Chain A
Amino acid sequence: MIVTTKKNVKEIISYVSSNEGLIIVGCSECAASCQTGGSKQVEEMAQQMGIHRVIATISIHAPCDKRIASRDLKRIDDEIKKADVLIALTCGSGVQAISEVTGKKVIAALNTHFLRMVERIGRFYERCAQCGDCILNDTGGICPYTRCPRKVRNGPCEFIAGIMCDVHPHTECVWHLIFTRLKQNGEEKRFTVFHPPLQWENRYSPQEVVW
């Protein structure tokens, strides 16, 4: 799931002209659980629009999925025809899917951050930075690429201070955590499996998985 945070409302309104009719679109999946784009936030956004004319509001289950966005937006087809601008309380993929589906001007109301692991609402942690070459099977299921500030894939680096990271002195070095986990699992030998550098030519955006 994707972590988003709210943009400043003034910034969002600055992209809307006073005579434009608006539709506010929320996401009842990731953005709802971040409390940035659920139905409550959609209504709040509608109220904050002041003099601007809000024609309709809608929450879509997963607006990043063009099939779902297209199906759900059909429910307010007439309103969309009348609208000039859609304000999307969704991740960046959602904004673009809505734009491609409707052909309308869409304003991003959120900032998109990372793929999250959820402890509870309001406690979201990045544990996978989507490097495209997963080494979790050699690292006891702990991702060094995401958690090491130097992105060391064969660690620890020489700056390890005891078991702590020099960059974040209050955090244990992720390679210490990996070693401890592998040892517990009786897989110590995996600690020195060589992980080659990332192939950046495979990391250019936009990426596609198509079959």
Chain B
Amino acid sequence: MKGNFLYCSKITNPAAVRERLKNCSESYVLCGEYGLSPFLLTRDEISAKRLLYEVVLSNKNRNLFCDTILSAHAARFCGIVISSGSFEKTLSMPMPVFDLDVTQALSLATSLRKNGKIAPDFLLGVRAPSGSEAAEYRARYLIELGADFIVPSVSIAGLEERTMMCIEEFTA
């Protein structure tokens, strides 16, 4: 699949996000986990649009990762985008914990699909590396492994039909 999405990376004011969603015309909206949980939106609000849930892997172990996918599926998101998550290190905080990388996470997500735990049309997307030979090699592999689409930061020759690009990022 191919397309564009609006990216709400961080929810701080759910009412403002609701308002924005009501008025948006983009076919997909990706809800990030960097602020309040996208699960604050009601099932009706979620199913009224084609909302994707961004599952961020930092500080999430494999059980929580799978539970988050199942919850997003139950809450009627139309799919997920798997993301490594930013690396924040401050003097007073330990470094984030990374139990899974996106390839391992995608493999877990595809096994949930194979085992019938999520519907076959629940979309599995993944943020893919791009911009170097090694990065593109990996991106192609992510498609082979079962990603419905990838989200690279720059488009990758030959993978355009399987690429979703962010057209605008907002926080509200």
Give the interface of A toward B (CB within 8 A).
149-163, 166-167, 173, 175-176, 178-180, 188, 191-192, 194-198, 200
Q: Check B104 against A159 for contact (C-beta < 8 Å).
A: no
Q: Check B137 against A167 for contact (C-beta < 8 Å).
A: no
Q: How far, in angstroms, from A53 to B141 measured CA to CA in the complex?
A: 66
Cβ of B128 under 8 Å from chain A: yes
Q: Which residues of B contact A166 (CB under 8 A)?
A: 87
Q: Check A179 against B87 for contact (C-beta < 8 Å).
A: no
Q: Given A150-B84, A152-B84, A197-B99, does the pair A179, B104 have CB atoms closer than 8 Å?
A: no
Cβ of B129 under 8 Å from chain A: yes
Q: Given A150-B84, A158-B153, A192-B141, does the pair A163, B132 have CB atoms closer than 8 Å?
A: yes
Q: How far, in angstroms, from A154 to B128 measured CA to CA in the complex?
A: 12
Chain B residue with minimal CB distance to A150? B98
Give the interface of B toward A (CB within 8 A).
58, 62, 83-84, 86-87, 89, 95, 98-104, 107, 127-135, 137-138, 141, 144-145, 151-153
Q: Check B152 against A158 for contact (C-beta < 8 Å).
A: yes
Q: Which residues of B contact A198 (CB under 8 A)?
A: 99
Q: A178-B134, A197-B99 are in contact. List 8 more A-B contacts (CB 8 A).
A: A149-B87, A154-B138, A155-B129, A158-B102, A160-B135, A188-B137, A194-B103, A198-B99
Selected A-B contacts with CB under 8 Å, 10 pairs: A154-B103, A154-B104, A156-B134, A158-B83, A160-B131, A191-B137, A191-B138, A194-B103, A195-B104, A197-B62
Q: How far, in angstroms, from A161 to B153 measured CA to CA in the complex?
A: 10
Q: How far, in angstroms, from A185 to B128 measured CA to CA in the complex?
A: 25
Q: Which residues of B contact A173 (CB under 8 A)?
A: 134
Q: Which residues of A contact B145 (CB under 8 A)?
A: 194
Set A150, A156, A200: member contacting B138, Cβ < 8 A: A156
A50 to chain B, nearest CB (A): 34
Set B95, B129, B134: member contacting A191, Cβ < 8 A: B134
Set A149, A161, A192: member contacting B137, Cβ < 8 A: A192
Q: Which residues of A contact B132 (CB under 8 A)?
A: 156, 160, 162-163, 176
Instruction: Select the residue from B58, B87, B98, B135 with max chain A CB neighbours within 10 A.
Output: B135
Q: How far, in angstroms, from A53 to B107 measured CA to CA in the complex?
A: 63
Q: Which residues of B contact A158 (CB under 8 A)?
A: 83-84, 102, 127-130, 151-153
Q: Check B153 against A150 for contact (C-beta < 8 Å).
A: no
Q: How far, in angstroms, from A188 to B89 measured CA to CA in the complex?
A: 33
Q: Which residues of A contact B153 (CB under 8 A)?
A: 158
Q: Check B98 against A152 for contact (C-beta < 8 Å).
A: yes
Chain A residue with minimal CB distance to B144? A192
Q: How far, in angstroms, from A192 to B103 measured CA to CA in the complex?
A: 10
B151 to chain A, nearest CB (A): 8
Chain B residue with minimal CB distance to A156? B129
Q: How far, in angstroms, from A179 to B134 measured CA to CA in the complex?
A: 6
A179 to chain B, nearest CB (A): 4
